[in-house]
Chains A and B, each alone.
Chain A
Amino acid sequence: MRTRYAREVAVVAFAQSDHQRRTDELSEVEMVMPVLHQVLAATGLKAGEIGFTCSGSSDYLAGRAFSFTMTLDGVGAWPPISESHVETDGAWALYEAWVKIQTGEADTALVYSYGKSSPGSVRDVLTRQLDPYYLAPLWPDSVALAALQAQALIDAGETDEQALAAIGARSRTAAGSNPHAQLSGPVPQGGYQVRPLRTGDCPPIGDGAAAVVLAAGDTARRLCERPAWITGIDHRIEAHGLGLRDLTDSLSTRTAAEHAGLFDAPVDTAELHAPFSSQEVVLRKALGLGDAVAVNPSGGALAANPMMAAGLIRIGEAAARIHRGESRRAVAHATSGPCLQQNLVAVLEGDPS
């Protein structure tokens, strides 16, 4: 394994909650704490021994300002810790933590993220992330926008409704072996949510949390039998306006993949953050994934899509396959914004072969 960065950094542990449609009886802190305990226990580290901690979440899902301050209490930040937070998916918190380790200021990092979609209407909530003056007042929801993208793909001859249905069925069948998934086993394709997307093309709405421990060099080797080395990681954003983008392609994903070195060698596994079946079509093309690659063996976001954690879970799932010896080289992808506006790509590899 060759790294293009100053330091070798690996995912050494991953934990996630059982994703559920509702968790009325749990506060966010109560949802996150078992996951934190589990991921730390896997490494034998205590919160106070971690060099840097970074989290991802959204105040809009929590329905209050500064919502992450309470979850920090759950980390056990005493004595005080070196800590930061991104208001987006935890995959970007992992990126910030990875950068911190690259500076040499930390050897280990705890990354966690969470979201509860159940208290509100997540389709309505997500409209608030659109251009606030021209677009958000029209309340176009996330499913409607994804449907525009799906229709563009169908019109371009890149897919059809039957192929999309097969993606949903494959994902939920794969989730049968994932005890954390919210939906698993064959799920009927269902009626149209917004044409051409049917229920089976859309992600379940649910609550969940995830956590990852990163470590550098020999620390990683000490903490994990088979570390998942991050040999490349990059993220890119595109224009916000859907009319300014080719919705059938994802230039930002491809650019991030190039900078992450994805195309230097083949991968055997891909964990893609594609909340809609049609988005898997776009991402497969952008990442150049052939049929030999196992795509979303965890079931992906069509089986569980806890907002702000689903991207971090893709990195965690890809790393876990490497930890278990089921993958040699994997790609993990996370997305943010409407119709794949912002994308992160990480390449993970097992020990030098």
Chain B
Amino acid sequence: MSTSGTPATAGKEPVAVVGIGQTKHVAARHDVSIAGLVREAAARALADAELTWADVDAVVIGKAPDFFEGVMMPELYLADALGAVGKPMLRVHTAGSVGGSTALVAANLVAARLHRTVLTLAFEKQSESNAMWGLSLPVPFQQPLLAGAGGFFAPHVRAYMRRTGAPDTVGSLVAYKDRRNALKNPYAHLHEHDITLEKVQASPMLWDPIRYSETCPSSDGACAMVLTDRAGAARSPKPPAWVHGGAMRSEPTLFAGKDFVSPQAGKDCAADVYRQAGITDPRREIDAVEMYVPFSWYEPMWLENLGFAQEGEGWKLTEAGVTELDGDLPVNPSGGVLSTNPIGASGMIRFAEAALQVCGRAGEHQVPGARRALGHAYGGGAQFFAMWLVGAEPPRS
């Protein structure tokens, strides 16, 4: 909300994604340091854009809590590896949504015409430490996260099932779909070639109703993008993805009025992005969705929260196969967070995969003819949201 009149968004510079780089995400990259990991993704993004380190005006870096690697403010140590010496470097941290927020902060530097070409990168090298430990430090007078993230989210999944009457088979359908999609994505962490629906359903129950195969892995990985202005896009060797809208929203973690099943901040964030992009019917106008689904049940929950389904109806889209790679609203064609989860990078991977889709460069997991795609990220106790909508055409200005 602004305090006086309509914001002057009309003056914004259009932002294009001209380079994307990812590492092959795995449980442990023992062969590289943190610096080596991030440089690999950044170098691939620059090569993709056919640019060099000298073309980068500023670097925006994001990751989830510093405790995940045990390095405080690692951007200081990473400045050299990312070619940032002598340049502006900004570090973003908005919990699990950080990969998305980082891309948005970088995009704003271009949109405000402060820099022409910006490198943005997010990473997590979870093998350096232990994320479960990092999330479980006890704090007096505050609610503990209860055995990592799964313990926090399971009751909210249960509430969703009770509220909507969704059958308890829906979660396994999502996991089975995402793990199959991941087989088509060479960068995905989990490549379970022998996956079957029965195997997902037979996997151990971790936090009832969330089964082992319905949870995300712990990954080492990084994702980088090169963002640039209209002139930069004109020089791009490949057709870029254009940013049509982007927004962040936050709400308190714990308060009596919070709807943990469908947080208001998520709804507001999506509404802002759709308004910027001129989307009035997301179900028809968006061709692919890269959605932050760390536990399988969050697919039907977010389908409702993001306006793709009426309240209580999200699970029906999943059950009917609408969200399959060959369905009419493919969700997580890349395999999603369920197949790849370098936490701080997971949001940026969603944003980058959405861009790949509209560029027609998603390889085997390409959604045919995708013109507009949504990248979505959330974090904390489902109170931080970051989203962008990218398109194959430049935005109307």
A6 touches B112 (CB 8 A): yes
A84 touches B8 (CB 8 A): no
Residues of B within 8 A of A255 (CB): 86
User: A243 CA to B198 CA in the complex, in Å?
Assistant: 58
Summarize B's interface: helix, strand, loop or mixed.
loop
Tell me if A79 counts as interface (CB < 8 A to partner B): yes
Assuming the A-B contacts A58-B72, A104-B11, are A86 and B91 also in contact, with contact meaning beta carbons closer than 8 angstroms in the complex?
A: yes
Assuming the A-B contacts A73-B253, A104-B11, A104-B12, are A68 and B93 also in contact, with contact meaning beta carbons closer than 8 angstroms in the complex?
A: yes
Residues of A within 8 A of B137 (CB): 63-65
Interface residues of B in 245-288 (CB under 8 A from A): 247-255, 257, 263-265, 268-269, 272
User: A129 CA to B74 CA in the complex, in Å?
Assistant: 6
Interface residues of A in 81-108 (CB under 8 A from B): 81-88, 92, 95-96, 99-100, 102-108
Tell me if B77 counts as interface (CB < 8 A to partner A): yes
Q: Residue of A at shortest CB range from B134?
A: A65
A60 touches B380 (CB 8 A): no
A104 touches B90 (CB 8 A): no
User: A108 CA to B4 CA in the complex, in Å?
Assistant: 9
Q: Which of B2, B71, B272 contacts A51 (CB 8 A)?
A: B2
| Chain A positions 31 through 73: 1 when the CB is less than 8 Å from some CB of chain B, otherwise 0 | 0000000000000010011110100001110011110111011
Assuming the A-B contacts A104-B9, A107-B2, A238-B85, are A336 and B250 also in contact, with contact meaning beta carbons closer than 8 angstroms in the complex?
A: no
Pick the interface stretch among B101-109, B163-171, B327-335: B101-109
**A315 CB → nearest B CB, Å:** 16
B73 touches A87 (CB 8 A): yes
User: A79 CA to B263 CA in the complex, in Å?
Assistant: 11
Tell me if B322 counts as interface (CB < 8 A to partner A): no
Residues of B within 8 A of A107 (CB): 2-4, 7
A6 touches B113 (CB 8 A): yes
Tell me if A177 counts as interface (CB < 8 A to partner B): no
Residue picked from A50, A76, A81, most chain B C-beta under 10 Å: A81
B87 touches A237 (CB 8 A): yes
Tell me if A321 counts as interface (CB < 8 A to partner B): no
Tell me if B1 counts as interface (CB < 8 A to partner A): yes
User: A59 CA to B64 CA in the complex, in Å?
Assistant: 10
User: A336 CA to B75 CA in the complex, in Å?
Assistant: 10
B135 touches A65 (CB 8 A): yes
User: A51 CA to B114 CA in the complex, in Å?
Assistant: 20
Residues of A within 8 A of B77 (CB): 129-132, 240
B268 touches A80 (CB 8 A): yes
Tell me if A252 counts as interface (CB < 8 A to partner B): yes
Tell me if A239 counts as interface (CB < 8 A to partner B): yes
A45 touches B3 (CB 8 A): yes
User: A77 CA to B269 CA in the complex, in Å?
Assistant: 14
User: A209 CA to B304 CA in the complex, in Å?
Assistant: 39
Q: Which of B72, B86, B384 contacts A129 (CB 8 A)?
A: B72
Interface residues of B in 57-103 (CB under 8 A from A): 64-80, 84-95, 101
User: A58 CA to B1 CA in the complex, in Å?
Assistant: 28
Assuming the A-B contacts A70-B142, A80-B265, are A236 and B86 also in contact, with contact meaning beta carbons closer than 8 angstroms in the complex?
A: yes
| Chain B positions 376 through 394: 1 when the CB is less than 8 Å from some CB of chain A, otherwise 0 | 0000110110000000000
Assuming the A-B contacts A27-B141, A103-B112, A108-B2, are A69 and B383 also in contact, with contact meaning beta carbons closer than 8 angstroms in the complex?
A: yes
User: A131 CA to B70 CA in the complex, in Å?
Assistant: 11
A129 touches B76 (CB 8 A): yes
Q: Which of A78, A106, A236, A237 contacts B257 (CB 8 A)?
A: A78
A95 touches B90 (CB 8 A): yes
B88 touches A234 (CB 8 A): yes
User: A252 CA to B105 CA in the complex, in Å?
Assistant: 22
**A339 CB → nearest B CB, Å:** 11
B380 touches A66 (CB 8 A): yes
A237 touches B2 (CB 8 A): no
Q: Residue of A at shortest CB range from B79?
A: A237
Tell me if B122 counts as interface (CB < 8 A to partner A): no
User: A102 CA to B70 CA in the complex, in Å?
Assistant: 35
Assuming the A-B contacts A104-B12, A126-B72, A132-B70, are A240 and B80 also in contact, with contact meaning beta carbons closer than 8 angstroms in the complex?
A: yes
User: A68 CA to B252 CA in the complex, in Å?
Assistant: 11
Tell me if A186 counts as interface (CB < 8 A to partner B): no
User: A325 CA to B134 CA in the complex, in Å?
Assistant: 48
Q: Residue of B at shortest CB range from A100?
A: B108
**A89 CB → nearest B CB, Å:** 10
Q: Which of B68, B76, B265 contacts A240 (CB 8 A)?
A: B76
Tell me if A251 counts as interface (CB < 8 A to partner B): yes
Q: Which of A82, A218, A337 contacts B248 (CB 8 A)?
A: A82
Assuming the A-B contacts A72-B252, A81-B250, A85-B92, are A342 and B114 also in contact, with contact meaning beta carbons closer than 8 angstroms in the complex?
A: no
Q: Which of A51, A83, A222, A342 contacts B89 (CB 8 A)?
A: A342
Q: Give 15 pairs: A residue, B residue, CB < 8 Å, sorted on A.
A: A63-B139, A65-B67, A68-B93, A72-B253, A81-B250, A84-B248, A87-B92, A96-B105, A99-B108, A106-B2, A222-B4, A240-B80, A252-B86, A255-B86, A338-B76
Beyond the given pairs A72-B253, A222-B4, 14 more chain A to chain B contacts, judged by CB atoms under 8 angstroms and listed by A's residue number, are A59-B65, A60-B72, A64-B137, A73-B253, A79-B268, A80-B251, A81-B249, A82-B247, A85-B92, A104-B9, A107-B3, A235-B88, A240-B77, A337-B76
